[in-house]
Amino acid sequence: MSMSQDAANLAVLLFALTQPDTEAIRNAEATLKPILKNPNCIPALFEVLSSRGTQPDAVRHVAAVLLRKRISGHYQSLPQDYKVKLHADLLQLLASESIRSVRNGAIGVTSTICKLQTPSSDEDTPSNYVPWPELFQFIAAASQDQSAEARELSFLLLMEMVDTVGTFLSSQFGQMAQLFNMSITNPQEDTKVKNAAVKALGGLMSFLSDDKEVDIFCNLIPSLLQYSVECQKRNDEDTVSIILDVLYDLAYSPCPVVTHHLPAIIQFCLECMKDSNLEMTVRDSAALVVATMSESKPKTYGKNSNLLHATLETIFNLIENSSETGAGALFQSNPAWREDEEGEDYDPEDNDAATETSMAQGTLDMLACEIPKRYIFEPVVKMCVARFSSQSENHRKAGIACLGVIAEGCAEPLREHLGDIMPMVLQAAQDPSATVRECACFALGQISEHCQPEILSYSDQVLPIAFRLLDDSTVAVQATSCYVLEMFCERLEPDDVRPLLDPLVRKLAQMLETTTKRSVQEMSVAALAATAVAAEEDFAPYVDGVANLMSKMMVIKDEKLFSLRGRALECMGHMAIAVGKDNFRPYFTQTMQCACEGLTFDNTELHEFAYALFANLAKVMESEFSPALDELVPHLLAVLEQDEGCLEKQVEAQGEFGGLDDSDDEDEDGNYVIQVRTALLEAKKGAITAIGEIGAHCGAAFVPFLEKTVPLLQKAASNWHPLIKAQVAEALPSMVLPLVAAEHDGSVEWKKGDISGPSPLTPSTAAIANVVLKELMGLLKDDDKETVGKAAEAVQNVIESCGPHALAPVANECLEAVHALLTKSAPCQTSEDVEDYYDDEDDDHDSFMTSVCDLVGAICRVMGHHFVQYLPTFLPAICSFVKSSRPTSDRAMGMGCLGEIAQELGDGIRDHWKGVFLPAILAGIADPDHNVKRNAAFCAGVSCEGLGESATVDYVSILQGIGQMFGIDETASDTSAAAVDNASACVARMIMASPNNVPMPQVLPVFLSKLPLKNDMSENETIFKCLLGLLQMNNPDAIAQKAEIKRVFTEASSEGSKVDDELKQKLRMSLLTLG
């Protein structure tokens, strides 16, 4: 049968599209565009598609592609009788077509037409509605056909229509599951049919992953995994990838069958990770499934010790059998590091490419962060320790590298076991193998970053070793030793860094001037910055020399070296923080000029460094920074207005001949995806940080900018990305401070619990505080934990600054949000919990909850006696954290929260003393952890202070526990010293509250022997108020201890003492009377 003239003319143009002639293709596309806008193109295209034997297969394939693209826009205007004919003819074509490319094109057309038959979401549809029933009858018949081609066709059609099948054919899921299982497990079935069945099943399981209906298909997981193994053996990577994608989609499925088959899923993924015959992308997909399963089912995974052991063995083996650096993805993703390591072979395009080591370490990092520490920490550390003593340098490399990888996720147990672990780490840092030394530096840096402050007690061992490694013969070790110094020095006290300060600064400066390796330069600058922060004013003599070095880098114009320019700006900002306004003033103008010049370059990383500098300099220079506001603030606000995520046309939607799709039709929505500009996201975060610090420290000068700034921060608070929301939460309180500076002379004078009298807030301050707090209430209910933690800190800042009149309008909402967080029922705690069948005993400490508990204390501080009525609601939730089964950080946090409540409410806790506070205090004092003991002692002291005589009946039991704390070796660590200090302060408060109920002859000698305080200087006032009071009363027991009191006063008032000057003066005057 001859073709119509329209079809023949169209075929000529389609033929041109198949030829290797760019000009001919361009001309054909230009001619086709107006033709394809006419609905008559549909019959013509189908005619070409059906012309088997008269048209080349390539032309028929193009016809199918264009028919699929264009039929959506024209379908409704086609006559009904033609639609019926088209449906029938299309099914006939599918049944008879032997050319795979043409058949696949026809499958696409069929899928599109079927979707067009589905009703819209706002239409009423019968429960048994099935679109295009003849099509599904056709599929059912094809699935039972003797021909493998027909059976494959049935699954390919299902694969193309998973959303339609998943929505409208749920009544047939049972039959479908049987069909899928029969095809996948039948050893005689053709491979191409099995592959098509797997793809269709996988698509359907992914589509239904969040629905209960997926249970039916999840029972096929064993069959799917068995077939996956067959595919892996024959290196069928496409099918393996599809199955891995399905397993990833099922990770958060509520289906219990997925959890039941977790061991088999993980075992298959581990085999893929180990299989060097598979492409790295496939192996990395398998690792992603392992990591995601640990995130979604951490307790199930952790409780299965055999499965966890197999996972860890795989990870360790991958790292030790690889020749790559074990120093972590932190360095592998650093372009400067990669360039120095690979030299001329370095390709920037490979920065994000997975490697065996990055895959293994990334998986271990997720396991350490997600699986409860009681399950993951010990087996990892055992494997690390076992490898430390190995003769193989690769084994030692893996052992020390993995210890560094888990430092973030397992920070809490690692802090508790530093005494056992640090000797091995320090030994590894002196290993004969450079590879091991490099990994040891990585581990030391990670431990230094995440195990604060406990790690600081090792400064006399860590600093000399890191200093020696700066002279290592291996560039990688030099760079990682700088990283150790950067991480370790950031929180050191000047006394700790002083012995090495001069040689350290000179050495880092020398490295900076002599090395040609960019990674070493960047890390040397970072280490100098951290050293400055640690040394504080002791760094003043070095500012000029370091500033001269930085001044050369701050004007670098080579775009490849912009990261070094940024590091130099960062160093100047840190030096300013260290040495203060007066010492930094000579360098302020030049530094600002260099930073502002950096904003003229199209480089978001450089902008980010500049914003961080502005934040630090505003903090240091305060009002002297204000002249920059007129130029700087509009720029920062413009960054806030930029869109870091935008919708772009989905590439896959265009496929072949993208120029001939419907994108030029105004009524066609098309398929879009969000494209995230990560660099701009980081820059926006930096701009928000800068705005917050400028608002906080430039005082009244920032008031004119509030009108434009606040609405932009409000808009950013609803940003889709948690990074932005968290930063907004941190910046919002700074919008209140300019008005406090302008209209309250820097501070608001408010009274605890007083909301009946006139407000101390001006109308402007009250208005801005209300706007900020209302925005923060929304962020307190966010589904991101970091954002919630930042919001809690921000609410605390605002209410402590502005008082009860600011809190009152949002008090109920705030209390409800905080209580939801304490009871773990807030959105950020329930959004991804698919293991709610476990109790919370395996839960790890959530660090953001510390901010929530601090907010409870702040609310008590502001509300005062008004909070007493809420104690029956809040105390059970808080006490759940102090149970002995909870992690030590939870117990310390909960105990600290009880202490703050007792301190702020005083006698208001009377009704809950015997039933809540006293039992918690006695258990806390007896706790094995010194931080818990410390907080319990504080809680005991402030409770006795607030309750007065009503608590004296319990003095004996409290003093017995406190007496045990005086036996702690206070030289062991800062934490142990702080515990003893808080025990001393507790005794002081008890004496002041009721001296007659304290057995002074027995208590005073022990009490005085622990003075002066060694660590917690905030309790000095309490201690000396007690002792001075006893002397004023001529207490006979105190007079009997006059010599010991004199010793304490003498030491506390000496020049090197950390007691504040006013208190020192009082002690010196008292010493004169003591004789």
SS (H, E, C) 440-483: HHHHHHHHHHHCCCHHHHHHHHHHHHHHHHCCCCCHHHHHHHHH
User: CA angle, corner 402, sides to 397 and 405, nearest 5?
Assistant: 130
The token pair that represents 237 in the structure block = 């990577």
In whole angstroms, give the CA distance from residue 788 to residue 794. Answer: 10
In whole angstroms, give the CA distance from residue 897 to residue 855. Answer: 9
For residue 595, the SS3 value is helix
pLDDT of the residue at 347: 55
Q: Amino acid identity, residue 499? A: P
In whole angstroms, give the CA distance from residue 876 to residue 879. Answer: 5
- Other Cβ atoms within 10 Å of 919 Cβ, number: 13
In whole angstroms, give the CA distance from residue 803 to residue 800. Answer: 6
- C-beta separation of 944 from 958 below 8 A: yes
**CA-based nearest residue to 199, from 165, 146, 246, 166:** 246
In whole angstroms, give the CA distance from residue 244 to residue 288. Answer: 9
Residues with Cβ within 8 Å of 1004's Cβ and at least 6 positions away in sequence, in order, are 1037, 1038, 1041
292 φψ region: left (φ > 0), alpha (ψ -120 to 50), beta (else): alpha
Q: Which residues pair with 332 in a beta bridge?
A: none
- C-beta separation of 942 from 921 below 8 A: no
**CA-based nearest residue to 563, from 346, 339, 347:** 339
- The CA R_g of the chain, rounded to the nearest whole Å, is 35
**CA-based nearest residue to 717, from 702, 732, 695:** 732
In whole angstroms, give the CA distance from residue 1038 to residue 1048. Answer: 13
In whole angstroms, give the CA distance from residue 311 to residue 317. Answer: 10
129 φψ region: left (φ > 0), alpha (ψ -120 to 50), beta (else): beta
- Where does 628-762 have alpha helices with state H? 629-641, 651-654, 678-697, 706-717, 722-731, 737-743
Half-sphere exposure of 614 (CA within 13 A, CB side): 34
Q: Distances in Å between the alpha carbon of 831 and those of 565, 836, 939?
A: 42, 11, 34
- Other Cβ atoms within 10 Å of 832 Cβ, number: 11
- Where does 758-887 have alpha helices with state H? 763-780, 785-802, 804-807, 811-822, 827-830, 848-863, 871-879
Q: Amino acid identity, residue 698? A: C
- C-beta separation of 695 from 731 below 8 A: yes
In whole angstroms, give the CA distance from residue 478 to residue 512. Answer: 11
Q: Which residues pair with 674 in a beta bridge?
A: 647
User: CA angle, corner 655, sides to 680 and 46, nearest 5?
Assistant: 150
- Mapped to the 3 state alphabet, what secondary structure does 922-980 carry? HHHHCCCCHHHHHHHHHHHHHHHHHHHHHHHHHHHHHHHHHHHHCCCCCCCCHHHHHHH
In whole angstroms, give the CA distance from residue 792 to residue 960. Answer: 37
Report the sign of the C-alpha dihedral through residues 325, 329, 331, 333, in that order. positive
Q: Distances in Å between the alpha carbon of 1065 and those of 350, 1051, 1062, 1069?
A: 65, 13, 5, 6
Q: Which residues pair with 647 in a beta bridge?
A: 674
Q: Distances in Å between the alpha carbon of 1028 and those of 1010, 1068, 1070, 1074?
A: 17, 12, 8, 11
The token pair that represents 588 in the structure block = 């302020």
Q: Amino acid identity, residue 738? A: P
Chain centroid, CA 552 distance in Å: 35
- C-beta separation of 131 from 117 below 8 A: yes
Q: Which residues pair with 676 in a beta bridge?
A: 645
The token pair that represents 366 in the structure block = 């997720």
In whole angstroms, give the CA distance from residue 319 to residue 401. Answer: 9
Report the sign of the C-alpha dihedral through residues 80, 85, 91, 93, in that order. negative
pLDDT of the residue at 323: 85
In whole angstroms, give the CA distance from residue 864 to residue 868. Answer: 8
Report the sign of the C-alpha dihedral through residues 46, 47, 48, 52, in that order. positive
Length of the chain: 1075
The string of pLDDT tens digits covering residues 15-54 is 999 998 889 899 999 999 999 999 999 999 999 999 998 9
- Other Cβ atoms within 10 Å of 672 Cβ, number: 12
Name the helix (H) or strand (E) containing 676: strand 672-676
909 φψ region: left (φ > 0), alpha (ψ -120 to 50), beta (else): alpha
Report the sign of the C-alpha dihedral through residues 886, 890, 896, 901, in that order. negative
Residues with Cβ within 8 Å of 322's Cβ and at least 6 positions away in sequence, in order, are 355, 356, 357, 360
pLDDT of the residue at 33: 93
Show the low-confidence residues of the chain (pLDDT under 50): 329-330, 346, 646-654, 663-674, 837
**Angle, helix 335-342 to helix 475-489, in steps of 10 degrees:** 160
| DSSP category for residue 55 | B
The token pair that represents 313 in the structure block = 């063995």
In whole angstroms, give the CA distance from residue 1058 to residue 1064. Answer: 9
Q: Amino acid identity, residue 552? A: K
In whole angstroms, give the CA distance from residue 724 to residue 727. Answer: 5
Q: What is the pTM of this model?
A: 0.81
In whole angstroms, give the CA distance from residue 917 to residue 898. Answer: 7
**Angle, helix 722-731 to helix 678-697, in steps of 10 degrees:** 10
Name the helix (H) or strand (E) containing 194: helix 191-207
